Structure 1
Amino acid sequence: MADATPLPHEIRPDGGSEHWDVNEVVEAEWVDDTTPFERVYAIVRRAYEPASAGEIAERARVSPTTARKHLRTLESAGEVATSQDGQTTQYRRSETAIVTENAQSLLAEQTPDEIAAGIADMKAQIQEWREKYDVDSPEEFARELEIDDADTNHGGLLREWQTTRRNLALAQAALAIGEASQTGHLTGSETDYDGDGSTSTIV
C-alpha cells in the first residue's frame, strides 16, 4: 500500500502559532523541492475517494488548470480513474495503479517461487470450496445459502473466499510484473477461471 506518512501540507497544527509556522515552512519547502506534476501525482496517489480537480489543485498548491493538465496525463498513463458528479469530473487513484503498487510490494517481500507456491495453494483452496459447495464463486455461494449474516460460519467463509480471490489476483499480477522485469515484456497465456463466472487470462 502507499506510504501512510502524511504529506507536508497534511501536517496539522495543534493550535499553537509556533506549530502553524512550522507547518508553513514545511509546506513551502515541499513546493520549492517538487514540480507541479510531482505534487499532483503525490496527492492523487492518496486519492482513493473521488476528488475534483479544484480540490486536488488546492492540496497540491497548483492552479486548477495545471492540475487538470497533469491529471489528464496521469489518466492516460492508467494512474487515474475518473467519474462524473453532475458537471464535475472527479478523480481518484485507479484500481490498476493500486493493484500494481501492491503487487510490487509483494515482490519486494517474497521471491517469485514463493509467490507461485502461494498461487497454487490459493487455487487449490478455491477449487476445494467450489467442489464442496457445488458453486463457482463466492457470490453464487452467498445466493445459494441466502447468507445475510456476516457473523455466521458461512458468512465468515464467504469473506475468506472473497479475500482469497483478491489475494490470488494480486499474486498473479505480482508474478507477471516480476516476469516482465526479467524478460522486458509480459508473457503467459494460461487461462484461469477466476471464480466469478468469467474467465481471465493470466499475463
Structure 2
Amino acid sequence: MTDEPEPRGESGGPDEYPTGDEVPDDALSPEDITLFDTDTNEVDDVNDFATAEWTESTTADERVRIVVKRTVSPTPVREIAETAAVSETKARNTLKSLVEEGVARVEQTDSGAAYQRDPDRYLIEQIHALSLTEGLVDRIQAAKAEVAEYREQYDTESPEELLVSDRSLTDEELTDVSHWRTTVRDLEYLRAAYRIRQAKENTASSETRTRGSDSSHASAQ
C-alpha cells in the first residue's frame, strides 16, 4: 500500500469530502435546497440562434409557405409574419400568392384578412403522400379488421348509429366510439391512396403498351 490518494472513479465524485466539523448539525429541509435557476437570457439566446439558423437556410417565401401549411385556423398576417421571421408586407404578398396557388385560404374578419392552409389541397397532398408508402394494402386490411371488430362488439354498423341509440355509453365505450370514427376516416384515406396508386400503375402500363405498339409498327414499315 502507498500513501498516494486513489484516483477518482468513473462516477466523477469529488476528490475531497467535508470533515465532521463542516457537516451541518441539523438535517436539511426541502426549503433549504435551492433548485437550479433558469437563465431566461440563455433561453432567449437559444431561440434567437434557432431563428437565425432558419433564416439562413431558407428564403422568406419558403418560411411563409411552411408556416401557413401548419396553420389550421384563420390567423392574422402579423402572427404569420412573426412566426416566419419576415416583415408583414412580405408575409402579405407571399400569402396572396399562396392563395392564388391554392395552398392557402383567406378569410376577411373584423380585424382584417386572416389566412390558413387550404384544407382540400392539404388533404389531397396527404393522400398522395400516403399512396407512395410501403405496406398500404396491409394497413387497409388492418383498418378493415378493426372496423369489423367494433361492428361485431356493438352490433351496429357505424359509430354514429351507436351514439344516437338508446344505449347508455360508459367512458370506455365513448373512447371506443372515438377510435372507431378515427379508424373509419383513416380507412377512407387509405382506400383513396390505393386508388391513386392503381391509377398511376394503370396509366404507366398503358403508356408502356402504347410505346411498344408504336415501336413494332415502325419496325414493320
Alignment TM class, shorter chain as reference:
0.5 to 0.7
| Paired amino acid for 1:143 | V
Instruction: Name the structure 1 match of 2:95.
Output: 71
Matched AA of 2:82: E
In our comparison, the structure showing a higher alpha carbon Rg is 2
Amino acid aligned to 1:132: D
Could you tell me which of 184, 187, 190 is aligned with 1:171?
190
Displacement of 1:36 in angstroms is 1.6
Which one of 128, 131, 155 corresponds to residue 132 of structure 1? 155
The reply on whether 1:151 has 2:171 as its aligned counterpart is yes
The number of equivalent residue pairs is 167
TM-score by length of 1: 0.60
C-alpha change, 1:121 and 1:72, in structure 2 (3 Å) is: farther
Structure 1 pair 17/161, CA: closer, same or farther in 2 (3 Å)?
A: closer
CA contact (8 A) 1:80 1:94 kept: yes
Matching residue of 1:27: 51
Q: Judging changes above 3 Å, is the alpha-carbon distance between structure 1 residues 114 and 59 closer, same or farther for their aligned structure 2 residues?
A: same
Contact 1:36 1:62 in 2 (8 A): yes
In the aligned structure 2, how far is the partner of 1:180 from the partner of 1:15? 57
CA distance in 2, matches of 1:72, 1:183: 37
Q: Deviations over 1:80-118 (max 9, x none)?
A: 344444343322233335434544564565334324434
RMSD of aligned Cα (Å) = 3.7
Residue type of the alignment partner of 1:44: V
* TM-score using structure 2 length: 0.56
Structure 2: runs of 5+ lacking an equivalent: 1-37, 205-221
Give the Cα separation in 1 of the matches to 2:102 and 2:146: 28
> Percent identity of the aligned residues?
29
- CA distance in structure 2 between the aligned counterparts of 1:65 and 1:180, rounded to whole angstroms: 42
SS in 2 for 1:145: coil
Once residues 80 and 150 of structure 1 are traced to their aligned partners in structure 2, the CA distance between those partners, rounded to angstroms, is 41
Contact 2:69 2:117 in 1 (8 A): yes
Contact residue 106 and residue 114 of structure 2 kept, 8 A = yes
- Stretches of structure 1 lacking an aligned partner (at least 5 in a row): 1-13, 186-203
User: Aligned partners of 1:184, 1:75: CA distance in 2, in Å?
Assistant: 31
Aligned pair in 2 of structure 1 residues 181, 16: CA closer, same or farther (>3 Å)?
Answer: farther
